[in-house]
Structures are given as C-alpha cells and as structure tokens.
Amino acid sequence: MKKRSADEGLPESDCVEDAPHPRHSHILFGHGAAEQQLLEAYRSGRLPQAWIIGGQEGIGKATLAWRFARFLFAHPLFDSPGVARARDLSVSPEHPVAHRIDSMSIGDLALLRREWNEKTKKHFTEIRMDDVRHALELFHHAAGEGGWRICIVDCAEDLNRSGANALLKVMEEPPPRSLFLIVSHRPARILPTIRSRCRMLHLEPLSADEVSQAVMALGEPWSSLGSDIDAAAQRAGGSVKQALRYLDKDRFELAESVEALLSRLPQVDWQGVHRLADRIAGSAAVDDFDAVVGALFDWLDSQVHLGAQAGEGADRLAPYAEVWEKVADAVREAEALNLDKRPLVLSIFADLAAAVRAARS
C-alpha cells in the first residue's frame, strides 16, 4: 500500500511503497557534492530559478528537492547568518517549517504529481494540464509569507504535453523569488524549451553501502531485515527503490523472472513471456504489473547507460529511446483504459527484441 498523505488520507503517487514520503526524509545519502552546489548557488545571491534534478530512479532526487525547499523556507534570505553558517541543507525536524512541510501546510509550495482519480480509485496516468494550472496559481499572487514560492515536479516524465506547456508558460516569466525543482529520471525527454530554462543537476547512483544505509534509515519493517538488506543493495544498481523491491520475496522472484527473460533478448522465450503475462493479467495483480513495468524500464535504463559507457553513439542507442517511448505510451493507455495486460506484455517483449536487434545491427 502507498503511504497516505497527512491532509488528504489518499495514496501518494510520488512515494515508494511502504516507505516514508521524501518530504519526511531528513537524511540525504551519497549526494554531498550536489547538495553543496545548491547551497553555494543560494549563497551567491544568483540562484537559478529552475533546476532539473536528474538521475536514475530511486537514488534520492526527490529527497534532495524537498531538502532544498525546506532549507529555503527556513532561511528565506540568502545573506542571513544561518545560511552563512550552514554546512549543508539540513533543517532540524523540530523546526516549524519542517512540521509544515510534513503536513503540506505551506501555501507558497506547489507539488506537481499524478493525482488520485476518485472514480477509478487509482492515480491518473499523467500530470494533467488542469493539475498544473491549479497548482501554479500561487505564482500569480504575492508570496503569502513574503518569502519564496517553490514548485516541486515529481516527476517530469509524468507531465502530458499540455501540462508541460502550461508549466513552461509560468517558467518563461516567473515572479521574483520563485523556484522550480523538477525531478526527472530521463531529462532528455523533457521539452527542450523547459530544459533550456533550467540548470541541470545530475545525481549519480548510490554505492551499495549507501543504499544499505538509506534502507536502514527508513525504519520498520525494512530496518529489521538484517543481512537481506546488504544482499538487496548489492543487486540494486545504486537505487533504494530497487533494493526495496528485492527485499519483498514475491517481488524478488518476479524481478528475477523478468530479468531472465530480458537477458535472452533478442531471442524471446515466448513460453516464459506467456506465463508472466498470465501472472499479471488479473485485477488483483496491480502491484505485480507495476513491478514488471519498473523492471522493464530499469533494464532499458541499464542498456542506455552501459551503451553510453562503452562509447556507443546516438544511432546505436536510439532504438532503446524509441522503444522506451512506445512502451511508456502503451502502459499509460492500458492503465487509463483498464485494458487487458496480456497482449500488452506480449507486444512489449516483441518490441524490446526488435530494439535489441536494431541496436546491435
């Protein structure tokens, strides 16, 4: 089950299952250099008004965004003694600002994420234009407390085209002391017109030790899993979110079966794919479907990352980018229209096999 929002009592789309929401996290693991970059930019008095915080999913991008927002609300003047003394962006959990962010009771803070659809009892599959317009109304009025107006987008990939354009309109002429913190797992997919108005801050995957520490810091039930945490961290590829998947035995088994199928591409084990499709087809298998989709995108991420490390050019990596778009669109459509997942899984593996062949040709 997703963690519930304190003010609405509804599942939150920007939260890892059974883990605290990033706004509640007061410890940041592994991104000290990025944190210092934000702090020094603020101290300079020339803080860019928009940042893209990019990197692999589940490594702490949202935690850093919320940490920076909390710091600015706690220290609204860049030349204040508190900013001069600060060694990082930490704010005491007992600070009044921390409590207000925890409860989402700061009127000058907008959060753009996939909202809850009361009709379907699921989250919308995208951040819609109406969501953007409603959330960003705060930028059309003076700051309620005379300080910063901050918008956190989590994540950019969930914006539909109309929503992205609505966000762009506000970013083109932002009022003074406005800040946009845009979390992105794949910054290259963000509209070029938005990217051009942002400073890019890229976060690297965490080390296995940092993943273990981050999982332990989540508390129960995760912190009681002992040596399993280290084993999951070793497999997680630098992602806390991936480690949490591996700590769920059913999810671990499912991820292993997906990885085994993907490892054979461009050859497709159709028997195995059919078994996978049958497993996630039922209405009660929503979590399994999400886990499979996550594993597929993690695999695509790894193919692009490994290819880039090997010096492969854009032509060799383009098939993965194209199939990524195709799969993402198909998943959104299936979720929005409540379509049968069986044919979707079969077509995805056919498309992935074609992408691998094209990348290797």
Question: Mean of the per-residue pLDDT values for the chain?
Answer: 89
Q: Say yes or no to pLDDT of 286 above 80.
A: no
Q: Environment class of residue 190 by beta-carbon count within 10 Å: exposed (0-12), middle (13-18) or buried (19+)?
A: buried
Q: Residues 60-118: pLDDT tens digits? A: 999 999 999 999 999 999 999 999 999 999 999 999 999 999 999 999 999 999 999 88
**Residue spans of beta strands (DSSP E) within the chain:** 50-54, 109-112, 116-117, 122-123, 149-154, 178-184, 199-202
Q: How confident is the model at residue 156 (pLDDT cuts 50, 70, 90)?
A: very high
- What was the pLDDT predicted at 283? 57
Q: How many CB atoms lie within 10 A of CB 63?
A: 24
- What was the pLDDT predicted at 6? 42
Output the six-digit token pair for 226: 């002992």
Task: Give the torsion sign (CA, 250, 251, 257, 260).
Answer: negative
- What was the pLDDT predicted at 284? 59
C-alpha angle 202-331-54 in degrees, rounded to nearest 5: 5
Angstrom distance (rounded) from CA 56 to CA 31: 13
- What was the pLDDT predicted at 226? 79
Q: Say yes or no to pLDDT of 202 above 50.
A: yes
Q: Say yes or no to pLDDT of 36 above 60.
A: yes
Q: How many CB atoms lie within 10 A of CB 217?
A: 15
| Topology adopted by domain 22-202 | Rossmann fold (3.40.50)
Q: Say yes or no to pLDDT of 326 above 70.
A: yes
Angstrom distance (rounded) from CA 152 to CA 143: 16
321 vs 271, more confident? 271
pTM of the model: 0.85
CA atoms within 13 A on the CB side of 175: 15
Q: How many CB atoms lie within 10 A of CB 222?
A: 20
Write the CB contacts of 283 (distance below 8 Å, at least 6 apart in sequence). Answer: none
Residue type, 102: D
Which residues are bridge partners to 276 per DSSP? none
Mean pLDDT score, 253-268: 92
Angstrom distance (rounded) from CA 327 to CA 320: 10
Mean pLDDT score, 167-195: 93
Instruction: Tell me the range of 17-21, 54-58, 91-95, 326-330 where mean pLDDT is highest.
Output: 91-95
Q: Read off φ and ψ for residue 168, nearest 5 degrees.
A: -60, -40
Residue type, 107: G
Mean pLDDT score, 308-313: 75
Q: Say yes or no to pLDDT of 4 above 70.
A: no
Q: Say yes or no to pLDDT of 2 above 80.
A: no
Q: Environment class of residue 281 by beta-carbon count within 10 Å: exposed (0-12), middle (13-18) or buried (19+)?
A: middle
- What was the pLDDT predicted at 3? 37
Output the six-digit token pair for 66: 């919320």
Q: How many CB atoms lie within 10 A of CB 211?
A: 30
Q: Residues 217-244: pLDDT tens digits? A: 988 888 888 788 998 899 888 999 888 8
- What was the pLDDT predicted at 339? 85
Cis, peptide link before residue 192, omega less than 30° from 0: no
Q: How confident is the model at residue 196 (pLDDT cuts 50, 70, 90)?
A: very high
Mean pLDDT score, 316-335: 88
CB contact at 8 A, 116 and 11? yes
- What was the pLDDT predicted at 7? 42
